[in-house]
Structure 1
Amino acid sequence: MENHTDIETLLTKYFEGKTTPPENEQIEAWLNADEEHLHIARQLNTLYLAVDTQHITKKIDTEKALDKVKSKTKVRNLSRWGWTQRIAAILSVPLLIGVLALYPDRRQPVVTAQMVEIKTNAGMTTSVLLPDSTVVHLNSESSLRYPTFFAGDVRQVELNGEAYFDVTHHPRKRFIVSTPHHSQVEVYGTSFNVEAYGNETPISTTLIKGSVGFIYKNSKGKFQKSMLSPRQKLVYSPQTGDIKCYVTSGESEISWKDGKLIFNDTPLDEVLHMLGKRFNVEFVLSNKELKGCSFTGTFTHQRLERIMEYFRISSRIRWRYIDSADIKTEKLKIEVY
């Protein structure tokens, strides 16, 4: 293939199952020429599937074809990811263009990392496999930016929203999650949850196992690191620069990734916050005396109305839908009184 445009065109046809036998031979020759070519093809195939998940049902099994080439070249075993996950997300990526560059003299491919951005719609979640095999579960109205591969001694991603990370341990490559308000989570091979929406709401980190350090700007405007132990939750207030740490089982904080809502003596304002993310609803708490209420219960596939009725029966709260004057608003409003 003469240049990266030819590679791009042929690989796209290959993923769609539209290549001719001579073109298949040309692609396989290119894949066999260098181990890095196979890595590039897998990355592009992943992006291709993510952009249009309907391609999963195509008759051609691209992963199987790449595995066949891999067995010929005896390259290392690469992780695979089932894209039959709920990808109710928007993928923004400078697709293919610029992924390959050629030295004019040697005409050898040079890989340049591109940034991929995954965004979830309101009320939706999705899962992402990062290039280092780290698994990220992304909650409603969240975005995650990461490179197509991690270069150097730092693996860094950017999160705006909420995500659960199961980080692949690498002793010589730190994993860093950059979050709003100049804060970040420094990871040492672990599982944890981060909630960091880009507004004035608090940022929280809940550690399930392993070790993380939360780096933030304190009340004096200086950066500070606070280490967490398993079953600890740190809450950071960007306005004041203060942090608070709590002991938690982690069940309530990470239940969303399994499609559940688990409340364990959870305060009402936190309950409404979790319901709002799950059902894309804005709650208005007009009776401030209810802030002292807390709830315990587990919900899986129940509708919002069913959950709210449970709260009404088990406590003194009342609720009703509020008609919005703004017809463009995407969220329903519910008054709790």
Structure 2
Amino acid sequence: MEKENRHIISNEPDETVLLKYISETASEEERIRVDDWLRDDEDRENVLLQLAAIDHALRTKERIASRNPLDAFSKVKRRIKLSQRKYWINRAYLVAACFLGVLILSTAISYWKQKEIGGETQIVTVQANAGIRTHFNLPDGTVAYLNSGSVLSYPLHYDKKERRVTLTGEAYFKVVHNPEQPFIVSVANDRMRVKVLGTEFNLQSYKNENIVQTTLVCGSVNIETVRKGDIVSNIKLKPSERAVYDISSGSVSIATVNTEYDTAWKEGRLMFKDMPIPQVLKKLSYFYNVRFDVKDSVINTYRFTGTFENKLLSQILDYLKISSQIDYTIKQMTSDDSSGIQNETVILKKMR
């Protein structure tokens, strides 16, 4: 039986209550509950400080302007100082800019729940915020890089026979070799699996898309297509090969590619070589959390070449404007993002 760690069944405060405590929006009952929780175990103050640091680091400029997470983080530090526990504050500075805190917090809470629940399998879910890329270690030491908005779920303790994870979005894996326990990535509602023993590869499988791309950097992987729980095909990739699986037709095509173009995103770079504009816009959409509205269909017939490292979206759009005569307008978000992830819209037109 699998149980998501985000569901809390004890009296301990969950992540929502802790965030309310940090931002001073908690009720009197919730505040007392968190204070009691902190007094029970001084290690928990470190978790609280890490959460405050994450809250500060992951907010966008718009959120900082309206909600001032830095002030919330400072207030938490002052509250801990009043308790004369300065040691943990110093520790918090070390993680203030580290997005890995998301994983640490999830793992800590999963550990507490597992002691209460017993033998139930705890599932950890890590999501990269829109416009942000992150990486972290899985329980076996495998390193996973997540692209903007991507989600990876994995058990806190692997099954003895396999190391299975589930991905939605895009990820790059550096898998620790273990011939006795294959590493398996399930995507597209388990309609495709990538099975490896130890290797490096990039995998892209976004929700509501019918295409899954697997690019092998080194080692080897097996691409398994699945129908109604049964494996219907098994294809082995070689280094520098990319497999494209069409979910609708069930077909798999393989091509030799320059893997750097598919994996540069994890280093903050975008690389395009004679790429059709629709594919360029799709990459930019995922990388910067924006939506494109193409007003002139002729733009979709263009192709684009360029390499960008740690550039603002506007800088790339300016390059498009100069090289391809494409004018653009960025339509800013006008609604509050508290109800979910919002996207800016970029309107593209042919220059007249």
Q: How high is the TM-score relative to the length of structure 2?
A: 0.67
The residue aligned with 1:333 is 345
How many residue pairs align between the two structures? 277
Question: How many Å apart are 1:52 and its aligned residue?
Answer: 5.6
Structure 1 unaligned residues grouped into runs of 5+: 18-44, 64-81, 103-109
- Taking the aligned partners of 2:332 and 2:289, their CA distance within structure 1 comes to 16
Question: How many Å apart are 1:222 and its aligned residue?
Answer: 6.8
The residue aligned with 1:30 is none
Match of 1:296 among 281, 291, 305: 305
Are the aligned partners of 1:215 and 1:224 in contact in 2 as well (CA < 8 Å)? yes
The residue aligned with 1:178 is 186
SS of 1:124 mapped into structure 2: coil
Matched, 1:229 2:238: yes
- Taking the aligned partners of 2:163 and 2:328, their CA distance within structure 1 comes to 46
The residue aligned with 2:81 is none
Match of 2:319 among 293, 310, 313: 310
C-alpha deviations, 1:81-106, integer Å up to 9, x for none? Answer: x896434868767633442369xxxx
Distance 1:286 1:143, change over 3 A: same
AA matched with 1:273: K
Distance 1:52 1:184, change over 3 A: farther
Which runs of structure 2 are paired with 1:154-173 in the superposition (5 Å)? 154-173=162-181
Cα root mean square deviation, aligned: 3.7
Are the aligned partners of 1:169 and 1:189 in contact in 2 as well (CA < 8 Å)? yes
SS of 1:153 mapped into structure 2: coil
- Taking the aligned partners of 1:201 and 1:15, their CA distance within structure 2 comes to 45
Distance 1:97 1:185, change over 3 A: same
- Taking the aligned partners of 1:101 and 1:321, their CA distance within structure 2 comes to 50
AA matched with 1:86: F
Q: How high is the TM-score relative to the length of structure 1?
A: 0.70
Match of 1:205 among 207, 210, 214: 214
The residue aligned with 2:130 is 122
Distance 1:188 1:295, change over 3 A: same
Which runs of structure 2 are paired with 1:1-337 in the superposition (5 Å)? 13-16=41-44, 53=53, 59-60=87-88, 85-87=98-100, 95-100=110-115, 113-181=121-189, 182-217=191-226, 223-322=232-331, 330-337=342-349
Question: How many Å apart are 1:53 and its aligned residue?
Answer: 4.8
Work out which structure has the larger RCO, using CA pairs closer than 8 Å and 6 or more positions apart in sequence.
2
Distance 1:173 1:195, change over 3 A: same
- Taking the aligned partners of 1:158 and 1:216, their CA distance within structure 2 comes to 15
Identical pairs, percent: 31
AA matched with 1:15: D
SS of 1:320 mapped into structure 2: strand
Structure 2 unaligned residues grouped into runs of 5+: 1-10, 12-36, 55-72, 78-85
SS of 1:295 mapped into structure 2: strand
